[in-house]
Amino acid sequence: MKKCHAVRAQHVSQRGISVALNTCVFRFGIASSVVLAGAVASAQPGFVQQPPAEPPKVAPAQEPPPDVDHAPLPGQESGRTDVVDDGDTTKTQVERIAAKPVLWLVEATLAPVHGAITLWGRHRMSHQVGGLGDGKGVAFDINPLLRVDSGHGIAGFAGGAHAAAKNLFGEHEQLGVLAAGGAGGYIRQLYAVELDSGHRFGDSFALAVDGRYEDRPRDGFYGDGSEPVLRFSQKRAATDLVGDVRIADELHLRPSATLASNRYTSPIDGTALHAASADGQLELRWSNEHATGDWDQAWLPTDGTAASLAVARSQRLDDAPDFWRARLDVEQLVRLGIGPRVLAFRLHGEGVSTAAVPLPELPSLGGPLYLRGYALDQFRDRYAAVATIDYRWDLATWMGAHLFVDAGRVAPALDAFALTGVHVGYGGGILVGRHGAAIDLASTLDGGIMFAASIGLLPSTAAAAR
């Protein structure tokens, strides 16, 4: 107010007095408004300025339910409601019905092969109990087994499965179980169980124990080949304890002990016979076979050498005399070029120290391992030898093909071996993985055709296979 009086005194003119008075009135109004607002706020302490009210929400309109009663039927989604002619005449329907028994017969005939291939190709399982990628986990594998043989009076098959639990206790231990059955062929029943120590005893020693039983109703005795084949049956069982001493990466020493029993019938008169033994064997193995080229598949080695020399003593538990057995196997791979193209040269020889050996335990040739094209164990004697040339090439990353020639013979003594009397088999086939599947067609210079198809490997309880 003092400042207002000062302004009024300084401005004498009428215009100056008017300006001063207006200024004082304006300031007085602002001060009065502030004082009034403070009084109202102090009189109403709970007063808070509220935000403007939101407009009321309107619920969205509900869509009507779909008209199911007038929806198109399956096959009429295009909107057409008129009758569409499918071209299926009465003649076509009769022909389809008449062809069904033929289709059922074909499906039933191929069912074992189709089932085995489906299981092997699409349902091969590996389930990690300890977790995928866990080195301490347990893995379970189930693989099908199939063997089809046709030729030399045999037309049959054997099929089954091999199941394995790997890495049981964290050191790559393995437990495997195998079961197979067949009809018309050599094998009627086959069972096996195996336990391997893996790395439980370190990287330089492993121990394995296994047991096998095999019922074979149609093995053949061919004599000197001038008479019709005589069939006899076998029921073979064997239990092995095998050690593996790693001397070097390529060199292994394998001692083993075997208890074996074989109840078989005489092919001459059907007399029931029994052969039993406790065998001890020492085997030296060398292998450095490997894939060499950048495009070579791991399952198809292209270079290196594999060799095995085994000496065994058969302590007889029957009336036969004790005897010694020796076996030699050598394979040399020669890579011919990219693709790959490989030549494999193999030599197999086996002999026993006496002729007084039960018939099923004599060295033999013939079948899918030694002297292909001939019947299984067609030739038997004290000594047996066979040489093989095998040409292999790949057709895809998982499949290959091969052509082979086998030549061999048996003899009652080492000095009786000669080029005369050598039996020659030849043929070819398809390979799917190293131990996956194979289809072979073979013949011999003596005539005849042998067809064999397999998925996986069926073990044998024969003395020569141990």
pLDDT band at 18 (very low <50, low <70, confident <90, very high): very low
CA distance 391 to 436: 19
Task: For 6, list phi and psi in degrees, rounded to 5.
Answer: -65, -40
Q: What tokens does 75 get? A: 């096959």
Q: What is the pLDDT of residue 437?
A: 85
CA distance 56 to 67: 33
Enumerate the β-bridge partners of residue 309.
284, 328
| Pick from 79-83, 86-90, 248-252: least confident | 79-83
Q: What is the pLDDT of residue 219?
A: 92
Check: CB of residue 310 under 8 Å from CB of residue 282: yes
Residue 44: pLDDT over 80: no
Residue 6: pLDDT over 90: no
The string of pLDDT tens digits covering residues 286-331 is 999 988 877 777 778 889 999 999 999 999 999 999 999 999 999 9
Residue 463: pLDDT over 60: no
Check: CB of residue 171 under 8 Å from CB of residue 134: no
The whole-number average pLDDT for the span 375-396 is: 93
CA distance 448 to 378: 13
Residue 77: pLDDT over 70: no
Which of 74-88, 133-147, 244-258 has the largest mean confidence?
244-258
Residue with tokens 């099923």: 360
Name the amino acid, one letter, at 6. Answer: A
Nearest CA-CA partner of 70 in 55, 86, 81: 81
Q: What percent of the chain has pLDDT over 70?
A: 74
Q: What percent of the chain has pLDDT over 90?
A: 48
Q: What tokens does 39 get? A: 């009084």
Angle between helices 14-43 and 2-10 (to 10 degrees): 170
Query: Long-range contacts for 106-112 (Cβ within 8 Å, ≥24 apart)?
Result: 112/146, 112/157, 112/159
Check: CB of residue 313 under 8 Å from CB of residue 405: no
Q: What is the pLDDT of residue 57?
A: 64
Residue 33: pLDDT over 80: no
> Radius of gyration over alpha carbons of the chain, in Å?
45
Of 87 and 263, more confident? 263
Mean predicted lDDT score pLDDT of the chain? 81
| Pick from 216-225, 388-397, 438-447: least confident | 216-225
Enumerate the β-bridge partners of residue 290.
303
Of 434 and 319, more confident? 319
Of 419 and 11, more confident? 419
Residue 462: pLDDT over 60: no
Interacting residues of 22 by C-beta distance below 8 A, sequence separation 6+: none
Q: What is the pLDDT of residue 296?
A: 78
Cα dihedral: 258, 261, 265, 271 (round 10) = 130
My answer on whether omega of the bond before 368 falls inside 30° of 0, hence cis, is no
The string of pLDDT tens digits covering residues 285-294 is 999 998 887 7
Task: Determine if the pTM surpasses 0.85.
Answer: no
Both ends of the chain: CA-CA distance in Å? 127
Of 391 and 121, more confident? 391
Residue 125: pLDDT over 50: no
Exposure pattern of 196-232 as b/e (b: 16+ CB <10 Å)?
Answer: bbbeeeeeeebebebebbbbbbbbbbbeeeeeebeeb
